[in-house]
Amino acid sequence: MSNIYGEWLKAQREAAGLTQQELATAAVMTRSHISHIEAGRRTPSKEDARRLDRALNTGDVLSSFLPDDDTAVAGYFEAALQLEQQATMIREFALSFVPGILQTEGYAHAVLSMPFPPASEQERDRRLVTRLERAKILADPVTPVVWALLDEAVLLDEAVLRRQIGGPDVMAEQINHLIRLAEAERIQLHLLPFPLGMHPLMSNMLTLMWFEDQPPVAYGEGLYMGKIHDSPSVVQELQHRYDFALGNALPLKESLDLLRATARDYEHHG
């Protein structure tokens, strides 16, 4: 987005004699989110903008002049999207699909073309752009730290690595993308072996998020539903489940070896 908005927010904050943390406290936001908005890296939600207006006594300026936002996601994911953009550490568990922030354009296009009833081509394009924009958080070489735990289930067609989303060429490209990210040490990647059988994360996909200046949260998603968990006891329980599953996952080297072999299979059949 144009940084005119962020620069104006910063000017109003400084004119009010507030630090980023003081404004964050008054507006019930995080300091890191204020920092991202001022730097032009994030667009505040409408509710965030209203709280900023109240905290700075700027009428409805920040609410009325929000930069155009063409973000297209499911309604239940909107709050999680905001948190994802603020997180300093993200741990993903995927049961059926590669996590959104790790998807290639071809894979994401195939996934977004699957829902029934089908969306219009224009709507699919909007959703695709949004998903690819989400992945840009990996452009920063350090933050957020990303761990990805993928269910291997190598003997099943339904596995996250064996389900042919978009065909062999798309799958090969997607798997090679994961390999490159892991080899570049941008993500920590582990596969959960199918012979493990039942494990505590089998019910749905899970995202754990940590932040610079607020407690961690968890986001779980199933069919047409998603929920953010911010209860400390629930988040801790889900962290323990993730840690238990991670302890049974293949080491990084073995995970990458299996990914390379799987990619070669797809390239051969493609």
Pairwise CA distance, residues 261 & 223, whole Å: 31
| pLDDT attached to residue 158 | 38
Highest mean pLDDT: which of 78-92, 163-177, 178-192? 178-192
Please check the confidence at residue 101 and state whether its pLDDT lies above 50: yes
E strands of the chain, at which residues? 89-94, 145-151, 187-192, 205-210, 217-222, 225-229
pLDDT in tens, 11-36: 999 999 999 999 999 998 888 888 88
Residue 85: which of 35, 149, 21, 11 has the closest Cα?
Answer: 35
Average pLDDT rounded to a whole number, residues 89-96: 90
Could you give the CA distance from residue 114 to residue 120 in angstroms, rounded to a whole number?
A: 12
pLDDT tens-digit map of 42-76: 778 888 899 999 999 999 999 888 876 556 666 67
Q: Which long-range contacts (CB under 8 A, 24 or more apart) does 20-28 make?
A: 21/213, 23/52, 23/55, 23/56, 24/213, 26/55, 27/51, 27/52, 27/54, 27/55
User: pLDDT at position 203, please?
Assistant: 63
What secondary structure does DSSP assign to 172-221, as a single string? HHHHHHHHHHHHTTSEEEEEE-GGG-S-TTTTSEEEEEE-SSS--EEEEE
What integer pLDDT is reported at residue 154 of this predicted model? 36
Higher pLDDT, 52 or 129: 52
Residue 136 has pLDDT above 60, yes or no: yes
